[in-house]
Amino acid sequence: MKRFVSMLLFMSVFFTLFATVGHAAEVIPKLYLNGKLLQSEVNPQIIDNATVVPVRTVSEGLGYQITWDNAAKTATVNHGNDVIKLKLNDNIALVNDQMVQMDTTASIIKGTTLVPLRFIGEQFGLGFEWKATEKEVHMYEQPTVPAETTGWITQISYDGGSSLTINYDGVVKANKPLLLENPKRVVFDFPATAYSSDLNAQFLNGQVQFEVTDSTYLDGFRYSLFSNSPATARLVILIGDNTGYVMTEDLGKIHLSFMSLTDVPVDPNASIDPPVVIEPENPPAASDVFDVVIDPGHGGSDPGAKSVLNMWEKEFNLAVSLKMKTLLEKESKIKVHLTRTGDTYPSLAERVKFAESLKADLFLSIHSNSAASASIMGAETYYYRDNSKSLAAIIHKHLIAGTGTKDRGVKKEAYKVIKETTMPAVLVEAGFLSSASDAKMLFDDASQNRIASELVAGIKEYLNVK
């Protein structure tokens, strides 16, 4: 549990002065944590010359878990591996089963448990500032890094779909993750781990927060230094219903891939799922002209994954899509539409709306993959709805012929653009940008021409266009 011994003399003087002023003037201060006003039905109070604060408000503001046992009249705060127990009308708290005396007893006002601010500061490792003019108490976390730190997280990156990658220096290992509700989230704690100075500089109010709007499985994530002593980095990932994940590790990298619970491999160490065996269905009925939507993934502000050749996924996706457009424009029975023709970023919802507004006959999204290990390579094809199974089987056959890379099979996945469209829709991952051999193939002009030609052949085969 974090302690700031060097601050104790200052804090004693600080709280003595503050309590005296508050008692005489009946000041009810406002309470801030890391610059954010903490909202509570009960404001901080001054009881027996001690400032008391709502423990739930402070705990939840720091991301700690707190529970109330009505029978025992006890509040329990869980902070990493540390446990604090506070009993109503008792001035003795249990901190990891050790008795700690507080300035005054824990009390309840309007159903809210209040405990001394000095105790909160010492046990939660917070610094303080009293702003007399504004009548405000400011609490803030102090990101010092203790000597026992063995690893530093240098980057946490989101691939724009359903994966996160954690880059680090030193030794970084995750504890067993916690799955929490309301909101549904998975919490990873990394003991003996801090953040690099570059990442620390990005923290706002003690954390970095990222909202995800266009993913089937992810709603957002945030990370912070959960504890300084011992050093513990925390990553909280907001997830959708029926969401599972696979974690893979490589030297200096941890990769988290989120997917439907039904698609999580039985063996969590398996890097490749077995291919889905699909029997082709009957092709669609003949039409005068078919509307085909080609979706070059990512683009603009969303570059996608970076290749080992220092080129971006969005570049490959667009290059192959434009080559397909040129070939499809030669077909009198096919009218081709691209969701983007330049380096722009239409949202996933806009891509779905675009295809639906055309009442398209077919939707094909072009992507390339990335993994934590450079040894993983190959091409995959994804579908979600049953009306897309036969299209996936045909497109994948031609994708393997065009790329010449390892066949990783056809898989079911709830990617937004193939889940929320209503026409037959598939998404291809033409290879791994993290693999030197795949990346070289993907950014080779002759290979791109071959991939485009094969995918067009697959479209024509499915639509029965001669």
Q: Which residues are catalytic?
A: 429
Assign 3-class secondary structure to 48-105: CCEEEEEHHHHHHHCCCEEEEECCCCEEEEEECCEEEEEEECCCEEEECCEEEECCCC
Residue 101 sits at φ, ψ, to 5 deg, of -85, 140
Which two three-digit tokens encode residue 299? 């683009």
DSSP state of 266: S
Amino acid identity, position 93: A
Write down how long the chain is: 466
Output the CA torsion sign for 130, 131, 132, 134: negative
Q: Could you tell me the CA-to-CA distances from 238 to 97, 202, 241, 378 in Å, in that order?
A: 32, 20, 10, 30
Q: Where are the beta strands (DSSP E) in 240-361?
A: 243-250, 253-260, 290-296, 334-338
What is the Cα–Cα distance from 208 to 161, expressed in whole angstroms? Answer: 19
* CA neighbor of 434 nearest in space, from 296, 271, 302, 295: 271
Would you give the end-to-end CA distance of the chain in angstroms? Answer: 72
- Sheet arrangement for strand 74-79: 65-69, 74-79, 82-87, 92-95, 98-101
Element (H, E) at 328: helix 313-328
Gyration radius of the chain over CA positions: 28
Burial classification of residue 65, based on how many CB atoms lie within 10 Å of its CB (0-12 exposed, 13-18 middle, 19 or more buried): middle
Which two three-digit tokens encode residue 300? 């603009």
Q: Could you tell me the CA-to-CA distances from 142 to 53, 90, 212, 416 in Å, in that order?
A: 20, 29, 28, 40
What is the Cα–Cα distance from 47 to 272, expressed in whole angstroms? Answer: 61
Q: Where are the beta strands (DSSP E) in 297-342?
A: 334-338
